[in-house]
Amino acid sequence: MEEKPDLKSMNLRELEAWIQAAGEKKFRAKQIYQWLHEKHVTSFDEMSNLSMELREKLKNHASLPVLREELVQVSKIDGTRKYLFALEDGNMIESVWMRYRHGNSVCVSSQVGCRMGCRFCASTLDGLVRNLAPAEMLEQIYRITQSTGERVSNVVVMGSGEPLDNYDNLLKFVELLTDENGLHISQRNLTVSTCGLVPKMRRLADKKLQITLALSLHASTQEKRMELMPVAKSYELTEVLDACRYYFEKTGRRVTFEYSLVGGVNDTPEDADRLAALLGDLKGHVNLIPVNPIRENAYVQPGQRHISEFKKRLEQSGLNVTVRREMGRDIDGACGQLRRRYAGLSLR
């Protein structure tokens, strides 16, 4: 059977072309687009300004992916909400909603699973299942907005998956998310995190968008990076940092560097000094993430004092550093943990 086209992943131009090819008037596309991206309906039946006949036709010839809320965990500590959503094919993904002083933020997944293989990450343990469609990334935000009743102002693509490994769908997602006829989230309030796929980082830089690029660095030498992140075997540390420099040159946006602190692995004073030397001219922001231990490996967080010392050492060399506040500590914080637990994959 031929797959029905997914109308929710189309921009207005594409939707207009599709609806005209289906023998309908062009202005119908705008109406459908509003139902999908402003009103966030979950069925063609709700599109009450379309004739019954057109709604039937749409049902028969088109699709609109909808996520089903399978589970929500609410943190008693800080109100962080972690959602487990079922996709229409039965696959599960996770998204997180966090409330900050400057507004609400959602962390979205970009793939089911991941094929990058980072040693400390739960999302990659079973490999990549499939890419998410643009609509499936948007839906995470639409459903959460509906469930909380509050506007989302910031989006980070830091959930499961490697967004730049799903490049075309990511770009369409960015286009639809920032569209004035949709949620109209500013590009500056959107962060995309990558493990460092150099050619894609450069391609993204050439687009000259105003989104923030975050690089998962996690090590201060090529050797240590290769141990933690198999992707480092394909792209040398110097190449990755050059791509960050290129991103800054092209877009004027400073890159954020994520550094998961793993006790006894990448947390020595020498690591801090090498890191400072590497990032010196990039003037980016460093986000230290005390590693979130998962059952499948033996990594541990450094002690609180040790983390503060590491941070201070970086600051002394002029870097701007924050330690990521652990949101929702009590609710399976680490990427991919909830989905695995739900599937019974990491139950002991």
Span 207-226, contacts to ligand SAH by CB under 6 A: 216
Question: Phi-psi category of 252—alpha, beta or left, where left has phi over 0 and alpha has psi -120 to 50?
Answer: left
CB 130 within 8 A of CB 83: no
Told to check if 193 binds ligand SAH by CB under 6 A, we report: yes
The single-letter DSSP state of residue 325 is: P
Q: Which among 3, 24, 94, 195 is annotated as catalytic?
A: 94
Told to check if 334 binds ligand SAH by CB under 6 A, we report: yes
Query: What interhelical angle do 237-251 and 198-206 show, nearest 10?
Result: 10
Nearer to ligand SAH, 276 or 289 (CB): 289
Span 236-275, contacts to ligand SAH by CB under 6 A: 258, 260
Reply yes or no on whether 239 is catalytic.
Answer: no
Q: Are strands 154-157 and 128-131 parallel, antiparallel or unpaired?
A: unpaired
Chosen residue from 47, 92, 96, 118 binding ligand SAH by CB under 6 A: 118
Q: What angle do CA 265, 218, 325 make, to 5 degrees?
A: 100
Told to check if 125 binds ligand SAH by CB under 6 A, we report: no
Chosen residue from 291, 319, 327, 338 binding ligand SAH by CB under 6 A: 291
Q: Which among 118, 121, 244, 335 is annotated as catalytic?
A: 335
Nearer to ligand SAH, 131 or 292 (CB): 292
Told to check if 289 binds ligand SAH by CB under 6 A, we report: yes
The single-letter DSSP state of residue 5 is: P
Which listed range, 13-21, 54-62, 169-177, 191-199, lies at the site for ligand SAH (CB under 6 A)?
A: 191-199
CA distance 258 to 286: 6
Span 16-45, contacts to ligand SAH by CB under 6 A: none
Told to check if 120 binds ligand SAH by CB under 6 A, we report: yes
Residue type, 277: A
Told to check if 190 binds ligand SAH by CB under 6 A, we report: no
Told to check if 332 binds ligand SAH by CB under 6 A, we report: no
Nearer to ligand SAH, 62 or 84 (CB): 84
Chosen residue from 158, 176, 183, 211 binding ligand SAH by CB under 6 A: 158
Smallest distance from ligand SAH to CB 326, Å: 10
DSSP assignment of 210-259: -PEEEEE---SSHHHHHHH-GGGGTS-HHHHHHHHHHHHHHH-PPPEEEE
Number of residues that bind ligand SAH (CB under 6 A): 18
Chosen residue from 154, 194, 256, 266 binding ligand SAH by CB under 6 A: 194
Helix segments in the chain, DSSP class H: 12-21, 27-37, 52-61, 134-148, 167-178, 198-206, 222-228, 237-251, 269-279, 304-316, 337-342
Reply yes or no on whether 335 is catalytic.
Answer: yes
CA distance 160 to 335: 6
Rounded to 5 degrees, φ, ψ at 83 are -105, 140
List interacting residues with ligand SAH (CB under 6 A). Answer: 116, 118, 120-121, 158, 162, 193-195, 216, 258, 260, 289, 291-292, 294, 334-335
- Supply the residues annotated as catalytic: 94, 335
